[in-house]
Structure 1
Amino acid sequence: MQILFLHPNFPAQFRHLATELAKNPKNRVVFGTKRKEGQIQGVVKAIYTPSREARPETHHYVRPLENAVLQGQAVYRIAEQLKSQGFVPDVVYGHSGWGPTLFIKDIFPKAELLCFFEWFYHAHGTDADFDPKEPLNADAEAKIRIKNSPILTDLYSCDRGLSPTYWQREQFPPEFHSKITVRHDGVDTDYFKPIPGAKLVLNDKKLDLSEVEEIVTYVGRGMEPYRGFPQFMEAVSILLKRRPNCHVVIVGEDRVAYGRSLPDGKTYKQLMLETFSYDLSRLHFTGSLPYSEYLKVIQASSVHVYLTRPFVLSWSMLEAMSTGCVILGSNTPPVQEVIEDGVNGLLVDFFAVDRIVERIEEVLEHPDKMAKLRVKARETVQERYALAKLLPEHIKWICQKP
């Protein structure tokens, strides 16, 4: 089989799939991406570069669509080169939304087009209007509607699609649900596993918490309201005053990965540090970490806090569960699909800072009582999200004949 993966980043959601498919000498695997860094053995990278970005004079509702078209156009040009070299894929599997899949049916009309459908945007009822302090105006509502344009094109054009969770599939128009299979990317439960009594030492970060018994952890690509960073930081300011032996470890970059940045150019980390007082000797920002170091953090965690708006579920929550963390999650739909309060984790109102503090303390004060939650959290991932189970199913789905 000849398969073409498409994703602006590399290897993103397709890492395990591309790796596994490339092991079969009968397969030829090409990965179209904008990212030059990184390699997978047996996978040929085809770098595409859009000719420009959306012009400033383009109507601001339409700029995301223009960027998607420019990305699709760049992929088309790369596809022409591949075709001239004799590579004509049987299957093209791409991430929908950014545009790389838009013109695949034009350049490779006989290829089966599969799309990874991560999110469909709504002005009301999910992430965009979740915070009552951030009401939407008519401009924002209209822009969100038009933002779905490349996704709708993919929904029409694709032969089949996939969403990682039922909650995420629910966001897509019901008339397309029959095209979309629900299957998570999968968590490597052999890698993300508990180590009883694990101690946290990150030599590169000069961080030694090996003598600390209370470690609260938080992980995100960035630090933004979408993932409850302001609420978490306010809770931390209270928690560190109440518990003199508690340390907090935050993994992630000082940037906004999802949602809007602050208008004055400050980061949310800067804003929180200016707004609340902290004992900075017990508040540790590690920045982005390699997997091996990130694993050490969650293995040593006393309680792992995961807050999210009604939006895409993070891999990090499932990885932390697989590692046997006690998860304190927000009682929002993406989390509720996985966590049942008091069974395999704990849930709390996203905005209830005092309650977040109380539930963190509940875990810290009763570690023995929480042991069953740790076991059940890992069992949940092993039963429903284990890579060892899902990867063969995913490959079978890719390879099935139309």
Structure 2
Amino acid sequence: MKILFLHPNFPSQFRNLATVLGKDPNCKVVFGTNRREGEIPGVFKAIYTPSREAAPQTHHYVRNLENAVITAQAVYRVSEKLKAEGFVPDIVYGHSGWGPTLFMKDVFPKAELLCYFEWFYHAHGSDADFDPNEPLNADDECRIRVKNAPILTDLYSCDRGLSPTNWQRHQFPKEYHSKITVLHDGIDTNYFVPKPDAKLVLPRINLDLSYVEELVTYVGRGMEPYRGFPQFMETVALIQQRRPKCHVVVVGEDRVAYGKNLPDGQTYKQLMLEKLKSSLDLSRLHFTDRLPYNEYLQVLQASSAHIYLTRPFVLSWSMLEVMAAGCLLIASKTPPVLEVIKDGVNGLLVDFFSPQDIANRVEEALNHPQEMKKIRANARETILKHYDLAKLLPQHLQWMFAGKNANSLKKPSISKGFGKSH
């Protein structure tokens, strides 16, 4: 069995699949990526490098498409080299949107093409028009429509697709829903476990909060409006005024992972620190930057209350990891969250735009730690029941090898301990 994964990042959503298949003697696994860092035993990395970026004179509606095509050309060239060396995949499984999968039916016409469909863009009804303070104009609407061009090509070309949540699948055109299976990547519940009475001490970054009784946490790839960072910071100011012993830890990079950068080059962290400088106690506000998994887990295990905010957009892995670790989750009442959280049962729901509401629910959690134990336990139980990697990875593998092109081929087996990949 020959498998080609395609993703500009490495290993991203394909970490667990590639790890398992790389160990299987029946499989030869190649991972086409733009990322040189990182490796997985048994997985050969094929690095592709786009020749250039979209030209400045290209109409801004189609720059995303031009970048996707340029990426697809680079992947095509790498694929031709793989073919010349004797590697012709039975299955190509790639992330749709950036372009790597666009020409796979041309270079490997007999391979089954599987696509990971994470998001389909809409001007109205999801993320783009969520904030009333950021109204869209006709230019925005047209640009967003055209942004789906490479994804639509993949929807037409692929044999089958997968989305991690029902909410995300719902964004795609109904006429393609029959092609898309809903199956989450899975959370390693053997790794993300509760640790009662844990205290946060991270010697590597000289952070010792072992004396802290109230610890509020926030995690994001970046610090941006899409994940409610401005509202979170306003909430921090309120919490610090009300709870003089409460500390706050923010995990993430000072950048924008989703959405637009500020026009003047300022980051949202800089903006909010400046805006709230008279209201914040910086001695009780700790920015850790990005953390390795073991330190990130320690933050979650020590958390008294964890704030997760998101626009109607892709659901973060972190929210489910937080729940698996038994955190008390305080999350925005937005569609991707509502698919998982029931207020007062496995988490507390809040108004995305109301720092006052968020702060009130944080206080509720801090004031009633005993009552919150049941909610914490239910949060973990939700992950064990619906999002456990140990259950979902075999399903994901079964889905991968369910196509007609793979029926006659020997399917890989799963060894014990496959979930311990961190």
Same-fold call, TM cutoff 0.5:
yes
Deviation at 1:355, TM superposition (A): 0.7
Deviation at 1:322, TM superposition (A): 0.1
Any stretches of 5+ residues in structure 2 without a counterpart?
Answer: 405-422
Deviation at 1:152, TM superposition (A): 0.1
Deviation at 1:401, TM superposition (A): 3.0
For residues 3-402 of structure 1, what are the structure 2 equivalents within 5 Å?
Answer: 3-276=3-276, 277-402=279-404
Q: CA RMSD for the aligned pairs?
A: 0.5
2:112–2:403 CA contact under 8 A, matched in 1: no
Whole-Å Cα distance in 2 between the matches of residues 198 and 339 of structure 1?
A: 25
Whole-Å Cα distance in 1 between the matches of residues 265 and 22 of structure 2?
A: 44
Letter in 1 for 2:289: G
Secondary structure of the structure 2 residue equivalent to 1:192: coil
Whole-Å Cα distance in 1 between the matches of residues 131 and 232 of structure 2?
A: 15
Secondary structure of the structure 2 residue equivalent to 1:239: helix
Whole-Å Cα distance in 2 between the matches of residues 341 and 242 of structure 1?
A: 24
Whole-Å Cα distance in 1 between the matches of residues 35 and 264 of structure 2?
A: 30
Whole-Å Cα distance in 2 between the matches of residues 337 and 116 of structure 1?
A: 20
Deviation at 1:238, TM superposition (A): 1.1
Greater RCO, 1 or 2 (C-alpha within 8 Å, sep 6+): 2
Question: Normalising by structure 1, what TM-score?
Answer: 1.00
Whole-Å Cα distance in 2 between the matches of residues 353 and 321 of structure 1?
A: 22
Cα deviation code 1:313-367 (max 9, x no counterpart): 0000000000000100000000000000000001001001111110000000000
How many pairs are equivalent? 402
Whole-Å Cα distance in 2 between the matches of residues 376 and 101 of structure 1?
A: 39
Secondary structure of the structure 2 residue equivalent to 1:281: helix
Deviation at 1:400, TM superposition (A): 1.3
Whole-Å Cα distance in 2 between the matches of residues 44 and 357 of structure 1?
A: 48
Any stretches of 5+ residues in structure 1 without a counterpart?
Answer: none
Whole-Å Cα distance in 1 between the matches of residues 268 and 171 of structure 2?
A: 28
Letter in 2 for 1:250: V
Deviation at 1:225, TM superposition (A): 0.3
Whole-Å Cα distance in 1 between the matches of residues 348 and 21 of structure 2?
A: 38
Deviation at 1:176, TM superposition (A): 0.2
Whole-Å Cα distance in 1 between the matches of residues 153 and 313 of structure 2?
A: 22
Whole-Å Cα distance in 2 between the matches of residues 342 and 115 of structure 1?
A: 36
Deviation at 1:157, TM superposition (A): 0.1
Whole-Å Cα distance in 1 between the matches of residues 5 and 35 of structure 2?
A: 13
Secondary structure of the structure 2 residue equivalent to 1:363: helix
Secondary structure of the structure 2 residue equivalent to 1:305: strand
Whole-Å Cα distance in 1 between the matches of residues 97 and 295 of structure 2?
A: 32
Whole-Å Cα distance in 1 between the matches of residues 403 and 365 of structure 2?
A: 50
Whole-Å Cα distance in 1 between the matches of residues 26 and 373 of structure 2?
A: 47
Identical pairs, percent: 72
Runs of 4+ in 1 over 2 A off after TM superposition: none
Secondary structure of the structure 1 residue equivalent to 2:369: coil
Whole-Å Cα distance in 2 between the matches of residues 80 and 262 of structure 1?
A: 41
